[in-house]
Amino acid sequence: MKKIIPIGADHAGFELKELIKSFFQSEHIEFEDVGTHSLDSMDYPDIAHPVAEKVESGEAELGILICGSANGVAMSANKHAKIRAAICWNSELAELARQHNDANILCLPARFISTAEAYSIVAAFLSAKFEGGRHQRRVDKVSC
- The amino acid that residue 1 corresponds to is M
Q: Dihedral of CA 83/88/94/100: which sign? A: negative
CB 118, CB 139: distance < 8 Å: no
- Catalytic: 67? yes
For 84, phi then psi, to 5°, come to: -130, 85
Would you state the pLDDT for residue 138?
A: 78
- The amino acid that residue 113 corresponds to is I
In the chain, the number of structural domains is: 1
3-state class of 93 per DSSP? helix
Buried b vs exposed e over 62-93: b needs ≥16 C-beta within 10 Å? bbbbbbbbbebbbebbbebeebbbbbbbebeb
Q: Which of 11, 28, 100, 107 is catalytic?
A: 100
- Catalytic: 107? no
Would you state the pLDDT for residue 93?
A: 98
- Residue-number span of the structural domain to which 93 is assigned: 3-140
Would you state the pLDDT for residue 96?
A: 97
pTM equals 0.94
Q: Which of 49, 67, 80, 88 is catalytic?
A: 67
Distance of CA 63 to the CA centre of its chain: 4
Would you state the pLDDT for residue 139?
A: 73
Would you state the pLDDT for residue 1?
A: 54
pLDDT by 10s per residue, the chain, length 144: 568 999 999 999 999 999 999 999 877 789 999 999 999 999 999 999 999 999 999 999 999 999 999 999 999 999 999 999 999 999 999 999 999 999 999 999 999 999 999 999 999 999 999 877 778 777 777 777
Question: 94: domain CATH number?
Answer: 3.40.1400.10
Would you state the pLDDT for residue 140?
A: 76
